[in-house]
Amino acid sequence: REGRNQYERAFGVSSKDPFGAMYRSDEEMLKFMAGQNSVWSICGRDVLAAFDLSPFTQIYDLGGGGGALAQECVSLYPNSTVTIYDLPKVVQVAKEQFVSPEERQITFHEGDFFKDSIPEAELYILSKILHDWDDDKCKQLLAKVYKACKPGGGVLLVESLLHEDKSGPVETQLYAVNMLVQTEGKERTAAEYSKLLEAAGFGVIRAKRTGKLHDAVLGRK
């Protein structure tokens, strides 16, 4: 009814730090990471195959969590290496619980991508990241990604896209309510994501609906 998120009221934690509440215990963090992994085991391949990503061999999965999307990526593109960039405690759990040391194509980088530097790569994947944040934070992050990106490289946004008139899909509208309740972010249309990418400097922007829960938007440098 208030049209603003209720995180502080529910958890006593600032809504500007949603993961402070989401990761408030090891049990909660593990549950969240396992949930995200199950999503990518169902529809990870669809978003990664929406565009031909084979030209990109050096990939960073920003906020890659438990690594299921990274695993789908190296399976689909065997010449690629994927670095999961996430908070130190998330990386620790991913190494212990989800990603085997034998998976040599997957490596880890500990950090907070808003505060710390982002290393150079050919492709950056932001899966269900931008919908957590308002436009200003999204622009700030995408500008850092653009600066780090190799010329000719790109960024792949994986999000649930609203229709341009925001009339649906109903699943995405439900996600939008969830974002309103829990985060500073929102679900967006393909045009809205394109504007954010353009503001950061990316061009040749294409969006593809997969017919599943999540869609793909690719921007090039």
DSSP letter string, 22-44: HTSSHHHHHHHHHHHHHHHHHHH
pLDDT tens for the chain, 221 residues long, are 787 778 788 777 776 777 766 777 888 888 988 999 999 988 999 999 999 999 999 999 999 999 999 999 999 999 999 999 999 999 999 999 999 988 999 999 999 999 999 999 999 999 999 999 999 999 999 999 999 999 999 999 999 999 999 999 999 999 999 898 888 899 999 999 999 999 999 999 999 999 999 999 999 99
pTM, full prediction: 0.93
pLDDT at 75: 96
The residue from 109, 131, 163, 214 that is catalytic is 131
CA-CA distance, 57 to 41, in Å (whole number)?
21
Please report, for residues 25, 80, 174, the alpha-carbon distance to residue 10 in angstroms, rounded to integers and kept in the order given: 16, 42, 19
CA-CA distance, 70 to 175, in Å (whole number)?
23
pLDDT at 1: 78
- Going by CATH, does the domain composed of 6-220 fall within 3.40.50.150? yes
163 is catalytic: no
pLDDT at 41: 86
∠ CA 69-71-75, rounded to 5°: 115
pLDDT at 126: 98
* Ranges of each domain in the chain: 6-220
Q: Identity (one letter) of the amino acid at 213?
A: L
∠ CA 180-181-185, rounded to 5°: 35
